[in-house]
Amino acid sequence: MPREIDFYKNLLWGLCMKIMLGANCALVALLSANVALASNEVAVAPYFSDWPAIHSAIAKDEAIENRVKEILAKMTLDEKIGQMLQPDFREITPEEVVQYKIGSVLNGGGGWPDNNKHSLARSWVTEADKYWVATG
């Protein structure tokens, strides 16, 4: 891929990330403003009462909950966003996975190693290893 295309691809990716972040911030601000303007009381959506109660067969483990909170507290916003994204392996390079702190890469969504529908298992392993090596 020529350097110019790579540059613009990275520029576009960064712009998309900023737009997503900006849109989320704007949505939170709008929702907060609507609640604040409506009343000083906490608004409860009427349909929540219609939702079924869910009782997990697995009890909450406070040690696990606290550990998750500790991990999240140490993460930057970029890391949290990256962990929530799952691009297809055809759309992101191993280097971009590292750069954007991507949590996982999807494969099997209609793409194949080297665009060969009849790829052998070793081709899939080679493709997966590229990401494994890059993320070290």
Q: What is the per-residue pLDDT for 54?
A: 87
Task: Output the average pLDDT for the chain.
Answer: 82
Q: What is the per-residue pLDDT for 83?
A: 93
Other residues' Cβ atoms within 10 Å of the Cβ of residue 62: 8
Q: What is the per-residue pLDDT for 110?
A: 84
Least confident piece of the model among 31-40, 48-57, 60-69? 31-40
User: DSSP of the chain, one letter per residue?
Assistant: --HHHHHHHHHHHHHHHHHHHHHHHHHHHHHHHHHHHH-SSPP--GGGGGSPP---SSPP-HHHHHHHHHHHHHS-HHHHHHHH---BTTT--HHHHHHTT-S--B--SS--GGG-TT--HHHHHHHHHHHHHHH-
Whether residue 126 contacts residue 94, with contact meaning beta carbons closer than 8 Å, is answered with no
**Do 32 and 72 belong together in one domain?**
no
Residue 53 lies in a domain: no
Residue 101 lies in a domain: yes
Residues 6+ apart with CB under 8 A from 30: none
Alpha carbons within 13 A on the beta-carbon side of 31 = 9
73-117 pLDDT, tens digit each:
999 999 999 999 999 999 999 999 999 999 999 887 788 998 899
Range of the domain at 103: 63-136
Kindly state the percentage of the chain with pLDDT values over 90.
47
Q: Mean pLDDT highest for which of 27-31, 35-39, 45-49, 76-80?
A: 76-80
**Do 79 and 121 belong together in one domain?**
yes
Residue 83 lies in a domain: yes
Residue 131 lies in a domain: yes
Residue 95 lies in a domain: yes
Q: What is the per-residue pLDDT for 50?
A: 81
**Do 40 and 93 belong together in one domain?**
no
Q: How far apart are CA 50 and CA 66, in angstroms?
A: 31
Q: What is the per-residue pLDDT for 109?
A: 75
* Structural domains counted in the chain: 2
